[in-house]
Structure formats: structure tokens, C-alpha cells
Amino acid sequence: MAEKSRIGVTGLAVMGANLARNIASRGVPVAVHNRTTAKTEQFMAEHGGEGEFTASESVEDFVNSLERPRRIIVMVKAGRPVDAVIEELTPLLDEGDIIIDAGNSHFPDTVRRTEECAANGIRFMGVGVSGGEEGALLGPSIMPGGDPEAYAEVEEIFTAISAKVDDTPCCVHVGPGGAGHYVKMVHNGIEYADIQLIAEAYDLLTHVVGLDAPAIGKIFEEWNSGDLESFLIEITGKVLAKTDEKTGKPLVDVIVDQAEQKGTGRWTSQDALDLGVPLTGITEAVFARTLSALRDERRAASTTLAGPSPAQKADEQLVDDIRQALYASKVVAYAQGFAQMRAASIENDWDLKLGDMATIWRGGCIIRAQFLNRIRDAYAEHPDLDNLLMVPYFTEAVADAQDAWRRVVTVATEQGVAIPAFSSSLSYYDGYRRERGPANLIQGLRDYFGAHTYRRTDAEGSFHTRWAQDGAEVRTD
């Protein structure tokens, strides 16, 4: 009988296939399986020679080809397909076997599946994997969540296949239950904000500065050697430089301007609303995608709704202002995303080490960036930091950029270019740095129409004013 495999992968679409190949390339025997056998056959025909693979047609044979405790990576579409695979595997597994969901599952599903599996003696792990197809093959960033003892059974393989930065693996046990998928969700939310900010910069460079796509591509290429250095800035330069073979135009100019989404950004915003965390950058990015989707309505509105008269300001200073506005807004988006993870960690008792999250996002994942080193340093010095903006490096970075940031928001507003992420980030910054904001009036209004009460700055307790009656104030607690 053939030697048993150390780990199995079921679901051989490109992400699952590439993860299996990555694992096998480290000399680890891998069992592979797919619901439709043709896919398994195709995988074996194309990659079977790359390592020690055992392919099975049936789930039973797949399970039997694994050493114990069985470690099974499930790489199928998030949602019902994950439950279907678990249901199929469960009767075939033994106490202590481990099911690892490495897809983009919604974390409440992971919490539920962890409990359901535990009731059957199975250890379930929800593991965030980022890096796209190439990352899965060559070294992703891995965010494992679940039982630490189960993690110990896969740690060696996971750290071996992950990306490395300065010899440090981009893989660390994130926390119990749904923590891994939660952190991956916030990673994706930040990815949305990063991408939206890049798109706004592109829009301004196109419509206010008056540059074409290849020229803007060169600007992004330059920006990639400064504070903004990151995978997304790098690939923006490449995407903008690409010429469409069919028309000879820049390819971006012939791509339909409707952004799609699979849900992780929206979940991040929904969770921020539940937690009561101001997450304006990511949320505006989600809304910008939904606005972009209203293509027919926008087309009608473009000839109906008035805007300012076009006036281009081709000016060197503005290009650098946009760079600075992009950086400052990016700092805000990360400050918000990390504040959200901190709130979720407290709420769920996850004990997330936020510095570790910055560390494992430095390589392999879509938001990998130089800048994450600064975030890592910030949490190394202040593990319980409320907000990244309060760390001297970021305080100064945003202070240095703020004049440029305000100029960009002003010019964009004057010229009628939508910049929801730039402007909401600036408003968040201005709101956060205010000792006293205008919510006193909100409280006064709420008390007027609904007797919702308010607190006073000069006394303890709750108060209500009989605004429309005798105008007297009464204490209500």
C-alpha cells in the first residue's frame, strides 16, 4: 500500500491546485481530490510530476490516503459548498482529525462550523490565505485561526509554504475560532480602501491634471520607490502601461468602469457598524464599487445633472499633492482597519497581536507594503495602541501631508471629481483630532424630539429638558 500523505487538498480550482503544488514543492506528500474527477485528472496530468501527489476519485479514498490525524485543506467557494464538503467528510473522519477551510469564508460561518465539527470530535480551522494565484503557488500570507493544538499539527507545513520577509514567515497563529477569517476579512477590506484610493488618484491625474494612462503609469512606477512602495502601487503602474492588442489603446481605457465584489469588503463594513467602529475609508470603497455598478443610471445622469465647468490644472505640484493625499488617506484606512481588529479582539476575546498581523502582511498578500514595517514597529512599542495615528511616525507623516491633502480635496471638489475615500479620510482625521465636536447638538435634538436625555459637561448624571413645555431641566437617573 502506498505511503500515506501528510496533508490533503480538496477543491482543485486554481487556488487549491496552487496550494497543493506549493506544499508538494517543499517535499511534503499531498493527497488531492476534487468533486468532479476530470479536474483531478487534469491536475495530475499537468502537475503530477512536480511532487509526491496521491489523487483519489472518491472522498473515501481521499480520506484513507491521509496519515492521522488527518489534515484536510478545503479550498472551495465560500458559503454552502464549504458546508457540503464538511458534511461529506464528517462521517469518514476520526476523532482529532483536522478540517482546514482556507477560502474566504465569512467568520460567523467559521464560528458555527468550529462548533459543529467539535460536536463530532473534529478540529476545524478557518484559515485566511492571501496572495492570489501566484501567492498560493509561491508563498502566500497565511492567517490561521482555530484551536492552537490543531494549528501545531500544521504549523510546519504552513510556515514552510508561506512567503518570507527577512527570513520571517508570513504566517502566525492569529487566534481561536473565527479569528483567522476575521483578520483575512479586514485584510480584504483594507485592500478595497487601497484600491479605491489608487483609483481616485488615477481619476484626478486623468481629469484634473490631464494625463493619459501610460503617463500615469509612469507616475505610479515612481511612487513605488517611496513611502507608497507596495504591490498594489507596483501593479497599478503595470496595468496602466498595458496596451490593448485589439484597439491599440491603453487597455484600462477599454475596460468597463463597473467594479465587482465578492463580499469580504462589505462584511468588513457591516461588522464595523456592529462594533461601532468608524471605518469610513473601507466603507466608502465598498459604496464606490456599488455606485460604479449603476452604469446605466450614471449614463443618464451624466447628461442631466450639472457639474462645474471643466478646467484642467496641469501642474507639477498637484501631482505630488495627490501622492501625499494618497499616503495620508492610506494611513487613515489602515488606522481604521487596525482599530476595528482591536475592537473585534476585545469583543470576542481573541487576544489578537496586531503587530503580528502587520508582520504577516508584509509579504505574500495583496496589501503587502513597506509601510507595514512601520505598523509593526508601532505595535511593538505600544501593543495596546488605540489608533495608529497617535504614533509619532504616523502623526508626523499625516501632519506633513495635510496641506497637500486639503489642496487635493479642494481641487477635486471644485472640479467635480468624486473622491469619497480621500475626502472621508480627511474628515475622519479632522473629526478624530477634535477635542469637542458638534455631537452636543445631536444630543440636544434627540432630547427635544424624543426625551432621549443628555449628559452635561459640568455635572454627573443624565438630564432631560422639557424643551417645548416649561423649559426646565430635570435629572433622569
Choose one: 22-30, 126-134, 149-157, 307-315; the region binding ligand 6PG (CB under 6 A).
126-134
3-state helix, strand, coil split of the chain in percent (to 5) is: 55, 10, 30
Neighbours of 131 (CB within 10 A): 24
Q: According to the binding rule CB under 6 A, does residue 130 interact with ligand 6PG?
A: yes
Closest approach of ligand 6PG to the CB of residue 133, in Å = 9
CA–CA separation, 402 and 408 (whole Å): 10
Of residues 436, 71, 358, 411, the one with CA closest to residue 209? 411
CA–CA separation, 440 and 353 (whole Å): 36
Choose one: 128-136, 204-212, 378-386, 395-403; the region binding ligand 6PG (CB under 6 A).
128-136
- Taking the least distance from each CB to ligand 6PG, the nearer of 93 and 365 is 365
Q: According to the binding rule CB under 6 A, does residue 250 interact with ligand 6PG?
A: no
- Taking the least distance from each CB to ligand 6PG, the nearer of 255 and 301 is 255
Q: Please identify which of the residues 184, 200, 234, 284 carries the catalytic annotation.
A: 184
Give start and end residues of each alpha helix (H) in 126-263.
132-138, 148-161, 179-207, 213-223, 231-241
39 among known catalytic residues: no
Chain residue whose CB lies nearest ligand 6PG: 130
Closest approach of ligand 6PG to the CB of residue 206, in Å = 22
Contact string 184-213 vs ligand 6PG (x = CB under 6 A): ----x--x----------------------
Q: According to the binding rule CB under 6 A, does residue 131 interact with ligand 6PG?
A: yes
CA–CA separation, 464 and 477 (whole Å): 10
Of residues 108, 104, 127, the one with CA closest to residue 264? 104
- Taking the least distance from each CB to ligand 6PG, the nearer of 319 and 365 is 365
Concatenated DSSP letters for 416-454? Answer: T---HHHHHHHHHHHHHT-SS-THHHHHHHHHHHH---E
191 among known catalytic residues: yes
Q: Please identify which of the residues 46, 149, 164, 191 carries the catalytic annotation.
A: 191
Q: According to the binding rule CB under 6 A, does residue 366 interact with ligand 6PG?
A: yes
Q: According to the binding rule CB under 6 A, does residue 264 interact with ligand 6PG?
A: yes
Closest approach of ligand 6PG to the CB of residue 106, in Å = 12
Closest approach of ligand 6PG to the CB of residue 204, in Å = 22
Q: According to the binding rule CB under 6 A, does residue 277 interact with ligand 6PG?
A: no
Of residues 252, 256, 192, the one with CA closest to residue 217? 252
Neighbours of 166 (CB within 10 A): 8
> Cα 282 to the chain's mean position, in Å?
9
- Taking the least distance from each CB to ligand 6PG, the nearer of 29 and 103 is 103
Torsion-angle region of 96 (φ positive above 0: left; ψ -120 to 50: alpha; else: beta) = left
With b for 16 or more beta-carbon neighbours within 10 A and e for fewer, the 135-144 pattern comes to bbbebbbbbb
Choose one: 20-28, 262-270, 382-390, 447-455; the region binding ligand 6PG (CB under 6 A).
262-270
Residues assigned a catalytic role: 184, 191
Q: In the complex, which residues of this chain contact ligand 6PG (CB under 6 A)? A: 104, 130-132, 188, 191, 261-262, 264-265, 365-366
